[in-house]
Amino acid sequence: MSTSAAFRQGVLTALVLALPAGILNQLLENSTGDGANSPWTKLLWMVILFGGAAGGFAVMRLAPSSRLSAAAGAAATAYGIVQTIGVVRRLLTDQPISWLAFPLLALLMATCGMLGGAFERRWERNYLSGVDDSEAGTGEDPT
């Protein structure tokens, strides 16, 4: 599969997890005044970050010759789509927007995508290509 098709699939994979979690997070935050301190909010943030990692994993899985920057870009693009929806909603309802948080969280999401891609590369090399532990760099003597 080409890198661009794998990139699109990675964005969709990340969106499948991140978009519902982001919507639930907003609903939780709007329904309770103290939604930011809820353990559910933290769990939903973990799901969003896992979605970024899954997107990066998908890019590298579908196009093994891709670079990790494609995995990071897929996760950051998914984050950008979700946040664009959030910004439009906040602008329409006159709610405050924290503009500084967007680039920082996009970098965090890109990092998760890169980690997902790196995990897939290691998974492919160690488990799917038939390399045993002695060849995978563990330093153990096979005898």
**pLDDT at residue 36 in the model:** 63
Does the predicted model carry a pTM greater than 0.85?
no
Q: Taking 90 as the threshold, does the pLDDT of residue 133 lie above it?
A: no
Instruction: Flag whether 136 is in a domain.
Output: no
Please report, rounded to a whole number, the percentage of residues in the chain having pLDDT higher than 70: 85
Instruction: Flag whether 133 is in a domain.
Output: no
* 28-59 b/e (C-beta count within 10 Å ≥ 16 → b): ebeeeeeeeeeeebeebeebbbbbbbbbbbbb
Instruction: Flag whether 135 is in a domain.
Output: no
Instruction: Flag whether 49 is in a domain.
Output: yes
> For residues 12 and 9, what is the distance between their CA atoms, to the nearest angstrom?
5
pLDDT tens digits, 18-45: 999 988 888 887 776 665 677 888 898 8
Half-sphere exposure of 15 (CA within 13 A, CB side): 15
Domain that holds residue 46: 3-128
Lowest mean pLDDT among 42-46, 67-71, 89-93, 139-143: 139-143
Instruction: Flag whether 142 is in a domain.
Output: no
**pLDDT at residue 50 in the model:** 94
Instruction: Flag whether 138 is in a domain.
Output: no
Quick check: 60 and 120 in contact, CB under 8 A? Answer: yes
Overall domain count for the chain? 1
**pLDDT at residue 15 in the model:** 93
Instruction: Flag whether 141 is in a domain.
Output: no
